[in-house]
Amino acid sequence: MTEMLKLKALWELYRLEHGLMYALGVVIGIVVAEGITVPFEKAIFGILTAVFLQASAFALNDYFDYEVDLMNERYDRPLVRGELSKSSALMSFAILTPIGFMFSYLISFTAFVLAFAITILGFFYDVKLKEFGILGNAYIGFTMCAPFIFGSVVAKNTITMPIVILSFMAFLSGIAREIMKGIEDVDGDSLRNVRTVARMKGEAVAGKYSSIIFMVSIALSPIPFLFLEEFFMDFKYLIPVIITDLMLLKISVKMLRGNFGKEDIRKYRKESLIAMTFGLIGFLAGAF
């Protein structure tokens, strides 16, 4: 394998596009909680903590999910394609995790404790929690809002109310996206007896649950614009968030109409990730 292909495989193993979103989430958490007065090095340490720990978590996830991904024909996974070995994924987890912890400790002991707790929770998710369906979905939802929470801790060593509201919106979107993902992975999830909504109640019910939760998240999105001082009547926040809402609403309506084949879900997952990126842009722009 050429060096470029190996780097591409590592990027895919670590899901570094998610890492960039997590890094942006930390920045948003910092800015919303404290503005731009936070020392530059603390912000950098916060970003690096998020990137290293999310990369280690995805590497461990692919290690434990290898057989499931093989069954689901997830050729977007480098382990399934044979470009990286299971042992390399496990080694990545062992190397990247302490580095992430080191950066968190350089911020504060509270930041270290939070980073450690999130990582341990992620480990239990990969080993067992994932099999408990909606609890596993809730964990994934939590990972979507954890960067905001961590950013607030980086800035103020506590969690502010605006961060709580933004986190709850991200949490709901994360759960909805993960329930939707269960439709695509229903065959492979049977190998680990992962009790997703799609496996336990059927794909149609999973599509409805996902759509409804997306819509609740959409309904909450005007709250910062109308009631939070940091985002009050701020169109820099509102316009990107409207784009997010429209994209997620489109996905929800299509699923409610019964369009939830595996190819459809694969497309919706990509579209929802783009939608959430616009949401992050709105949060960041509104915080300035």
The CA distance from 229 to 40, in Å, is 25
Mean pLDDT along residues 27-41:
90
The CA distance from 14 to 19, in Å, is 8
Backbone φ and ψ of 88, nearest 5°: -70, -35
Mean pLDDT in the chain? Answer: 91
93 or 72, greater pLDDT: 93
Domain with residue 130: its CATH number is: 1.10.357.140
**Domain extent at residue 152:** 3-287
Mean pLDDT along residues 65-75:
84
pLDDT at 1: 60
What's the pTM value of the predicted model, to 2 decimals?
Answer: 0.89
pLDDT digits (tens, 9 = 90+) for 49-69: 999 999 999 999 999 888 888
Burial string for 206-215 (b: 16+ CB within 10 Å, else e) reads bbbbbbebbb
pLDDT at 67: 87
Mean pLDDT along residues 173-182:
93
pLDDT at 68: 83
pLDDT digits (tens, 9 = 90+) for 105-125: 999 999 999 999 999 998 888
Q: Which of 62-66, 146-150, 189-193 is modeled with the greatest confidence?
A: 146-150
Percent of the chain with pLDDT over 70: 100
Percent of the chain with pLDDT over 90: 64
Q: How many domains does the chain have?
A: 1
